[in-house]
Structure 1
Amino acid sequence: MKEDVVILDNISQGIVLYKLLGTERLKTFGVPHSEHKSQNVAFHDGASTVICESNHGKVYIFDCRTGKINNTIHIGIKEWVQLIASIEVAGILLILVGQSGENIGQTKIQVWEKLSITIA
């Protein structure tokens, strides 16, 4: 799916998934916020999910097909989550999260790993 679509933050509409060839809007992802500012977004987990920052200390993980929130990461602050990235290292899916605010340059980067649970 990732080759066919692009994900953008449209300040007036929210996070929007567009078909790459053309301008067809496929899905809009609603992120609660108190200010309208551009947000970082990224595909995650083989483009089956979208991750998005917020201005209140949470990272939202949306299902690409349904548009529903699969999970919310609470990073322990009530400020703007400034930096997010989705990477895979040795087959392990990771989300990197930082923050902005008065501690710029001293911000810790948090690493979140998707846990796989096997039910017998």
Structure 2
Amino acid sequence: MLLSSATAMLAAARAEAERLGVAVCVSIVDAAAWPMAFIRMEGTILGAIDVSNKKARTAALFQMDSADFALIACPGGGAYSLENTNGGLTSFGGGIALKAKDGSLLGAIGVSGASTEDDIAIAQAAAHALTA
């Protein structure tokens, strides 16, 4: 993923968060789950910094959205407690795996600070900016 793509995604995420009237943290990582870009909007709770990063890392490391990861990492799931691996992951929505048209992983985005539904919507808006 290019830095210019990551910064365009940050701008799209911020615009969507402002439209929704929420303050969030947005983390973008490359395909190896290393940080590429990050913003923390004014007024965002400090705990959202780590959560946004973990959502992005979860999506990149397992090549799936964090909401889908939650289905296997929950009690009764096939990999219960998997979120305790890899230095800590997150098993709820707001992390989206970013894939190229050929299906290869480009990286991931994680959004935290609003409701899970708003975090997902903001991440989806940012992901759309990658493909636009």
Name the structure, 1 or 2, with higher relative contact order (CA <8 Å, separation 6+).
2
> Is TM more than 0.5 here?
no
TM-score bucket (shorter structure): under 0.3
- Structure that is richer in helix per residue: 2
Structure-1-length-normalised TM-score: 0.28
